[in-house]
Amino acid sequence: MNATIPGPDDRPRCRWCAAAPEFLHYHDTEWGFPVADDRRLFEKLCLEGFQSGLSWRTILAKRENFRAAFHGFDFNRIARFTDADVERLLADAGIVRHRGKIAAVINNAKRAQEMVKREGSIAAYIWRFEPKADELAAPQTASTTAASIALSKDLKKRGWAFVGPTTVYAFMQAMGLVNDHAEGCVTRARVEAAQRTFKRPG
């Protein structure tokens, strides 16, 4: 099956972005472009954790609600959440109301603070796991890789939750550590250009 389909402008794009109307903009402007902002990296790890067992469409549709509920994923604020905040979040119909996943975000916020103290930034730590060119799988053929397994294992060792290798690989795809746009996808070349000029942190 062809990995690309024509977009609204007749240029080829990854087939998955036609699965829902909101995917096209996300595919063209976010997915795969390298990110060095700690808050965005933390947000994406949290949202990928919430996606576990669900579809990305569900999470993307609720993303603004998640941002409001979790104060823009400011991990310094989230680290101070109390049991009352957990109950508030469990009553919020705009997000995924899963006690374990909510608890994981609060736990991970505290781990993020520790990481910043130890590593300087979340970005400096995360980008150490960027795979080398000869370690990359063919586009959209893997759900885990050696790099995602290594990052997942290290995050778990540091006390992070809901960071399995598949979740972490989806995070790496989205945050630009891997360019998993299909060969021939018009956005693949744009991501390659962004990766070339991206200043790796740390």
Instruction: Note if 26 is an active site residue.
Output: yes
Cα–Cα nearest to 155, from 51, 9, 45, 47: 45
CA separation for the pair 22, 57 (Å, rounded):
8
Other residues' Cβ atoms within 10 Å of the Cβ of residue 110? 17
State the greatest distance between any 2 C-alpha atoms of the chain, in Å, as a whole number.
51
Burial status of residue 151 (CB atoms within 10 A of its CB: 0-12, 13-18, 19 or more): buried
Task: Please pick, among 31, 43, 56, 130, the residue that the annotation labels catalytic.
Answer: 56
Instruction: Note if 135 is an active site residue.
Output: no
Task: Please pick, among 31, 43, 48, 127, the residue that the annotation labels catalytic.
Answer: 48
CA separation for the pair 54, 63 (Å, rounded):
14
CB 48 within 8 A of CB 171: yes
Task: Please pick, among 16, 26, 30, 119, the residue that the annotation labels catalytic.
Answer: 26
Instruction: Note if 48 is an active site residue.
Output: yes
Residues assigned a catalytic role: 26, 48, 56
